[in-house]
Structure 1
Amino acid sequence: MINRTTSVNPGGAHYFFQGWKLIHQPGIRRFVLLPLLVNIVLMGSAFLWLFHKLNVWIALIMAHVPDWLQWLSYLLWPLTVISILLVFSYFFSTLTNWIAAPFCGLLSEQLEARLTGQSPPETGWIELMKSTPHILLREWQKLAWYLPRALGLLIFYLIPGLGQTLAPVLWFLFSAWTLAIQYCDYPFDNHKVDFTRMRKALSQYKSDNMQFGALVSLFTLMPIINLVILPVAVCGATAMWVDKYRAQLGISHTRHQ
């Protein structure tokens, strides 16, 4: 069993930084490796391409700022950069999570067993392949929830002045909540807690989850560090599941045990 120090009422920030410690735990490192490799290859390549194109995209977006708002360009320019980075990082995080989802679920499952003092379930490649269709269906559910809300924010961004000023802030908050859902979903789904019920459970600790998701979002924007953020977030979200949701939902065992 992995021993952790927890405060009386730990918040989302606590679990995010717990994730950095948990990825180094004996017995967990080998399950960290595959999602880590997927993240390094995809996110590394994506951000290299982004930084090559960033100046062109900024110029195109700033060209649509109306003349009467040009005096605010010093403020709108950094907001535009942040918006591009947030949208881009979330898009490629989603793509990475689709590919790495079976490995993330396995990492969460193995970590949960160790955090709760239970015997880690034996999960081989055959079991992993059998669970992949269900895992991908769950990713579709998350995408279906996300797309109309993201589209609404995109439309709002196109409103001259107001959109360019407020949309980056709203997008950051939306990304924080979405990333909390994304990573907390792995332990919930391991126990077949449906998507709607999971979102209701997360809403009970919305402040904690917003903290967690905001930190994941911020660290995803940081070159080099963002290459390891996927397994860190999975481990942090799993620790939060064990402490805040597992008993509440009446779950006392690990999957497949």
Structure 2
Amino acid sequence: MNNNTIIEQPLTGLGYLFKGVQLLRHPQLRVFVLVPLFINVLIFASAFWFLFSSITDWIETYMQALPAFLSWLSYILWPVIIFSILFSFSFIFSTIANLIAAPFNGLLAEKTEILLTKSAINDDGWQDLLKDLPRILKRECQKWAYFLPRMLGCFILFFIPVIGQTIAPIIWLVFAGWMMAIQYADYPFDNHKVSFAVMRETLGKRFGKNITFGMIISFCTTIPLLNFIIMPIAVCGATAAWVDIYKQQVLSNPLNRIE
């Protein structure tokens, strides 16, 4: 297993995104980026055209719902709400893009791991991908089953006067980062058939590093043009983290794997 000194640095999440950029430039990986990149461009171009034509009206409506004695918070909440809306849209459409591109992202994660470790995971290539489609889609449904109740809880907070409306944007920013961390780390975990519960527990033990990684991804998805390529960068970065930090630990216990 390759060791990467970046895990000793404080900005692990940011470091792995930079590593994802480096890996993405490798000739052996470029071909596996084309389909996810096309899906991202199509979905995000449509989503952000709609978002930027409506965001001002949404924010003004939300601010008007605040009690008058909290009007002084508008200077603080305005940028937070903007980022919350951007992150919400980015997450929703990233999830849609990831659902469509999941088989190709899984293949990109596999090829990235092979590049890093010089050892094969599966031998059948595209045949193995087609065979695993039902399992991959089931895994995406597991993510949604985990995300949706928590997203609903955050959404309800936005309608609770004073306290809820004040803390909801902050809670959503943090949770959006956690969801992004799970979304992209899951590809290399799932390639080895590590259960979803074990994957979440493993990531939770390094919550600070993973939340940093996820929040930076969330931020990148709000930036035009960068949001087109952040998906494959995140897949490569998350796979590098899997190889460096998690792989040996997780796979040493056979009970962590599902059939």
Task: Tell me if both proteins adopt one fold, taking TM over 0.5 as the criterion.
Answer: yes
Long gaps (5+) in structure 2: 253-259
Relative to structure 2, which stretch is displaced further, 57-66 or 195-204? 57-66
| Worse-superposed segment, 185-194 or 167-176 | 167-176
2:205 and 2:163 map into 1 onto residues whose CA distance is 31
Structure 1 stretch displaced more, 8-17 or 239-248: 8-17
1:71 paired to 2:78: no
Identify the residue that residue 247 of structure 2 maps to in structure 1.
246
User: Does residue 40 of structure 1 match 2:41?
Assistant: yes
* Of 181-190 and 202-211, the range deviating more from structure 2: 202-211
Task: Report the 3-state secondary structure (helix = DSSP H, G, I; strand = E; otherwise coil) of the residue aligned with 2:166.
Answer: helix
Kindly indicate whether the alpha-carbon contact (under 8 Å) linking 2:177 and 2:211 is maintained by their aligned counterparts in 1.
yes
Q: Where does 1:1-257 land on structure 2 (aligned, <5 Å)? A: 6-7=5-6, 9-10=8-9, 11-119=12-120, 121-250=122-251
| Aligned counterparts of 1:140 and 1:7: Cα–Cα separation in 2 | 33
Q: Deviations over 1:2-52 (max 9, x none)?
A: x88633624222111111111111210001111111111111211111101
Distance, in Å, in 1 between the alignment partners of 2:236 and 2:126 is: 21
Q: Given that residues 80 and 164 in structure 1 are in contact (C-alpha distance below 8 angstroms), is that contact kept between their aligned partners in structure 2? A: no
**How far apart in 2 are the matches of 1:71 and 1:122?**
61
Alignment size in residue pairs: 251
Deviation at 1:194, TM superposition (A): 0.4
CA distance in 1, matches of 2:234, 2:141: 20
Q: How far apart, CA to CA, are the structure 2 residues paired with 1:8 and 1:146?
A: 28
> In terms of mean alpha carbon deviation, does 200-209 or 158-167 score higher?
158-167
- Deviation of the 1:119 alpha carbon: 4.6
Change (3 A) 1:4 1:224: farther
Q: Give 1:249 deviation, angstroms.
A: 1.8
Deviation at 1:122?
4.9
Distance change >3 Å, CA 140–CA 118, structure 1 → 2: same
Alpha carbons of structure 1 residues 199 and 209: separation in structure 2 relative to 1, 3 Å = same
**Contact map agreement 2:188 2:239 (CA 8 A) in 1:** yes
> Contact (CA 8 Å) 1:114, 1:120: kept in 2 or not?
no
- Determine if contact 1:76/1:164 at 8 Å carries over to the other structure: no
- Deviation, structure 1 residue 157: 1.8
- How far 1:123 sits from its partner (Å)? 4.5
Identity level (%) = 48
Gaps of 5+ in 1: 252-257
Structure 2: how far apart are the matches of 1:178 and 1:60? 27
Deviation at residue 70 of structure 1 after TM alignment = 2.4
Question: Which deviates more from structure 2 when the two are superposed, residues 172-181 or residues 70-79?
Answer: 70-79
Aligned equivalents of 1:154, 1:86: Cα separation in 2? 13
Q: For residues 36 and 123 of structure 1, do their structure 2 counterparts lie closer, same or farther at Cα, with a shift above 3 Å needed?
A: farther
Q: 1:200 to 1:8 in 2, by over 3 A?
A: closer
Q: Under a length normalisation based on structure 2, what TM-score does the superposition of the two structures give?
A: 0.90
After superposing the two structures, state which structure 1 stretch, 159-168 or 44-53, moved more.
159-168
Q: For the Cα contact (< 8 Å) 2:4–2:244, is it kept in 1?
A: no
Rounded to whole Å, the distance in 1 between the matches of 2:42 and 2:117 is 32
Q: Deviations over 1:51-90 (max 9, x none)?
A: 0111221222222122222233222222221221111111
- Residues 75/243 of structure 1: CA separation in 2 closer, same or farther (3 Å cut): same
Which protein is richer in helix relative to its size?
2
> Contact 1:76–1:165 (CA<8 Å) still a contact in 2?
yes
Q: Report how far residue 136 of structure 1 moved.
A: 0.8
Counterpart secondary structure, 1:247: helix
**What CA RMSD, in Å, does the superposition of the two structures yield over aligned residues?**
2.0
